[in-house]
């Protein structure tokens, strides 16, 4: 457990000793390496154990974030100016006083469409969650974009390193937490992993992986992207195009290890634009169904969740086994997820016919637009499209995931986050808007160089009340596996027959099967598959 030395907390890990900082009663350790630096010959390799250090390593500063382009949601959720580096595999720990432990643990996996984000950003600072919940909070960085997910079997140090290195980084962080968290007052047998968006997708992968799921006890999936991973054929085509942009022959692919990071990032951006799909919440360079890290069985699970699990269909293999462990899962979405993507200026004023044409390019027929327009009278074309894509990419897959999970003896709790800062908010209850409530760190968001537009018009008293209710649900779940607490209506488990959902808003309520009409629409329309 962390101890005091010269007014600084100390902790002993398997790699060496650390000196952190005190934040009130919290012991905070920043920039702690959990794997060897993925540079040089390790640039496209699976993560390796850190070689360690001698003496006491200072852990007072956050480690750099993974090299990345600007986020396409920068205007919506704000911008953080932060040092970037390929040497990014670090994590940070916030721990309550060790004398009262051991405490349950939360490992947070950030989102960003597998291309942006960082556990080092103030947006995801864990101090309030650790302080209010008496929980050890860990946030981690992982490789992004081409460095994390480009399919390059020729450069892999083993089959697992061919793709999904970003996911492997997260698993390495989870292993580090399991091995070391007792040194910070945490209980390695009481780990909850939580992730938002792409982070939620990664957690879904770990939940069905035999080598990972025994390392954690509970899971929180915030707006998880549960669509199918990239196929091997498409992943190979993406790699071919990126090599072409760089002027590298396939037979000379080893040159990727020495390409400057600026040139690699520029090629990644150009390749992502080439393979971009309208309405997709993640880019083309993402998790790959490689048969090693994401197995064929798990790829089948993702495919069935995304393209529509009809009554009587079954998910194959590992998901059923994982659910059968009884692991508790808390999952949910925001009401208007896709407003974050579609209500920016380039789409906001699109006409009905333009929007229908874009939806058709995404494989959705005009009749789908008409079906939604009929139940959403007065909505703009962009708002109607947002509702369709919110259900397609977030709400319906989440409902099906929890339905299957609970149907195979897994505990499941569902929520929807409906709050928006004012009635005329452009972005509504959009993707990412629930994160500052879970972390209860509004000040960290408003202090960003570009403040989050999604919170424009926010009332402090309203935020404080809802953040307390939402964060307390997380805390209760981390401690007990049940998110209910005395500040909420009675929270009923969801199951395949009754997908009950806690609707978080100024007046939070428990709703019984609130999405039945949406599920019926998706189950009855062949155009939606």
- Residues annotated catalytic, as ranges: 197, 337, 431
User: 127: Cβ–Cβ under 8 A, 6 or more apart, which residues?
Assistant: 23, 26, 28, 94, 137, 441
Q: Is the separation of the CB atoms in 100 and 59 below 8 Å?
A: no
- From residue 365, alpha-carbon distances to 280, 336, 350, 353, 385 in Å are 16, 21, 17, 12, 12
Q: Is the separation of the CB atoms in 172 and 35 below 8 Å?
A: yes
Give CA–CA dist 238/256, Å, rounded.
14
- From residue 360, alpha-carbon distances to 186, 228, 303, 369, 401 in Å are 50, 19, 20, 10, 26
Q: Is the separation of the CB atoms in 108 and 126 below 8 Å?
A: yes
Q: Is the separation of the CB atoms in 104 and 149 below 8 Å?
A: no
User: 325: Cβ–Cβ under 8 A, 6 or more apart, which residues?
Assistant: 213, 410
Q: How many residues does the structure list for the chain?
A: 529
Q: CB-side exposure of 338: number of CA atoms within 13 Å?
A: 24
Give CA–CA dist 264/271, Å, rounded.
10
φ, ψ at 287 (rounded to 5°): -60, 140
């Amino acid at each position: 457990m962390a101890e005091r030395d010269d007014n600084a907390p100390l902790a002993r890990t398997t790699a060496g000793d650390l000196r952190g900082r005190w934040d009130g009663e919290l012991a905070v350790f920043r920039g702690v390496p959990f794997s060897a630096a993925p540079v040089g010959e390790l640039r496209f390799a699976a993560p390796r154990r850190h070689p360690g250090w001698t003496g006491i390593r200072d852990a007072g500063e956050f480690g750099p974030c993974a090299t990345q382009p600007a986020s396409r949601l920068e205007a919506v959720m704000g911008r953080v100016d932060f040092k970037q580096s390929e040497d990014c595999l670090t994590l940070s720990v916030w721990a309550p006083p060790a004398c009262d432990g051991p405490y349950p643990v939360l490992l947070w996996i950030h989102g960003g469409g597998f291309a942006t984000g960082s556990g080092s950003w103030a947006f995801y600072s864990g101090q309030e969650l650790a302080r209010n919940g008496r929980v050890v909070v860990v946030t981690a960085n992982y490789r992004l974009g081409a460095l994390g997910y480009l399919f390059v079997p020729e450069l892999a140090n083993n089959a697992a390193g061919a793709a999904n290195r970003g996911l492997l980084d997260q698993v390495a962080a989870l292993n580090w937490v399991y091995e070391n968290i007792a040194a910070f007052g945490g209980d390695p047998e009481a780990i909850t992993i939580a992730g938002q968006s792409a982070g939620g997708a990664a957690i879904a992968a770990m939940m069905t992986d035999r080598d990972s799921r025994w390392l954690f006890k509970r899971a929180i999936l915030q707006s998880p992207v549960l669509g199918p991973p990239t196929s091997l054929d498409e992943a190979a085509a993406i790699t071919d195009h990126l090599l072409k942009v760089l002027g590298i022959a396939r037979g000379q692919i080893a040159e990727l290890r020495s390409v400057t990071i600026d040139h690699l990032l520029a090629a990644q951006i150009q390749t992502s634009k080439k393979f971009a799909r309208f309405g997709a919440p993640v880019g083309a360079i993402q998790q790959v169904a490689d048969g090693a890290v994401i197995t064929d069985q798990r790829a089948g699970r993702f495919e069935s969740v995304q393209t529509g699990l009809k009554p009587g269909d079954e998910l194959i293999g590992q998901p059923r086994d994982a659910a059968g462990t009884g692991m508790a899962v808390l999952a949910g979405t925001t009401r208007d997820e896709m407003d974050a993507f579609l209500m920016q200026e380039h789409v906001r004023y699109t006409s009905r016919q333009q929007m229908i044409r874009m939806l058709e390019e995404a494989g959705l027929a005009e009749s789908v637009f008409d079906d939604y327009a009929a139940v959403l009278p007065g909505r703009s074309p962009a708002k109607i499209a947002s509702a369709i894509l919110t259900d397609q990419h977030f709400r319906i897959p989440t409902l099906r995931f929890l339905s299957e999970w609970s149907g195979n003896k897994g505990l499941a709790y569902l929520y929807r986050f409906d709050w928006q800062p004012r009635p005329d908010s452009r972005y509504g209850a959009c993707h990412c808007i629930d994160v500052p409530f879970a972390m209860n760190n509004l000040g960290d968001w408003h202090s960003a160089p570009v403040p989050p537009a999604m919170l424009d018009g926010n009332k402090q008293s309203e935020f404080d009340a809802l953040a307390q209710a939402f964060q307390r649900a997380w805390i209760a779940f981390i401690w007990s596996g049940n998110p209910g607490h005395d500040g909420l209506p009675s929270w009923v488990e969801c199951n395949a027959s009754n997908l009950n959902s806690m609707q978080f808003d100024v007046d939070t309520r428990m709703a019984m099967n609130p999405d039945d009409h949406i599920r019926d629409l998706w189950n009855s329309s062949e155009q939606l598959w």
